[in-house]
């Protein structure tokens, strides 16, 4: 009887060890797959990365862009790289992109610099912003306006970021909220 009980206990112990070993093997296989996926994702071409990022980042786009033409323009320019002084899809800066939006969507011509654009708006509170209004920022401990974006809805705005190119950001992010200087609709054209 003691031999049978010892055999059963030994069998249970061996089965448990086997299942633990299987779990570790499965875990390591999954971990290696994840690592390979990360390595391979770094080798994705720009166009496929742009397409997948756009799908992920812009899934809820309908909730914060009402104007279909504006939505199409944002999708067309999304992740266009930043280039100081640029105004094309090869590279664009914040004021260049804002000019493009205003010319193509609102049929208005704006000055070339964000500082000059800021002179054309009627100041409003953030809570009163509407789609198409401009938002201005002063970075680098400066009182001078040096960045502009186009307001969408629900604190979202589209702009040409120096690091990521044309993207949609949120005014509630500390980086933007802390440096927001002025915002409002364009009341005068140059």
**Which residue numbers are catalytic?**
94, 147, 159
CA 171/CA 64 separation, integer angstroms: 13
Rounded to whole angstroms, the Cα distance separating 3 from 5 reads 6
Q: Tokens 């914060």, residue?
A: 64
For the chain, how many residues are written? 190
Cβ 62 vs Cβ 68: under 8 Å: no
> Distances from the Cα of 32 to the Cαs of 24, 36, 42, 43, in angstroms?
12, 6, 16, 17
Centre a 10 Å sphere on the Cβ of residue 47 and count the other Cβ atoms it contains.
9
- Do residues 137 and 154 make contact, with C-beta atoms less than 8 angstroms apart? no
């Amino acid at each position: 009887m003691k031999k049978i009980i010892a055999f059963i206990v030994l069998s249970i112990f061996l089965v448990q060890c086997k299942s633990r070993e299987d779990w570790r093997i499965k875990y390591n296989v999954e971990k290696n797959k994840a690592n390979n996926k990360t390595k391979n994702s770094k080798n994705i071409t720009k166009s496929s990365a742009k397409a997948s990022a756009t799908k992920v980042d812009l899934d809820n786009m309908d909730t914060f862009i009402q104007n279909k033409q504006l939505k199409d323009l944002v999708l067309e320019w999304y992740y266009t790289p930043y280039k100081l002084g640029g105004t094309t899809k090869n590279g664009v800066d914040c004021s260049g992109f804002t000019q493009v939006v205003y010319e193509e969507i609102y049929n208005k011509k704006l000055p070339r610099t964000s500082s000059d654009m800021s002179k054309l708006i009627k100041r409003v509170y953030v809570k009163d912003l509407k789609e198409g209004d401009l938002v201005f920022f002063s970075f680098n401990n400066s009182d001078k306006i040096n960045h502009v974006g186009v307001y969408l809805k629900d604190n979202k705005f589209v702009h040409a970021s120096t690091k990521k190119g044309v993207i949609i950001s949120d005014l509630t992010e500390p980086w933007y909220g802390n440096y927001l200087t002025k915002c409002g609709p364009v009341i005068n054209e140059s």
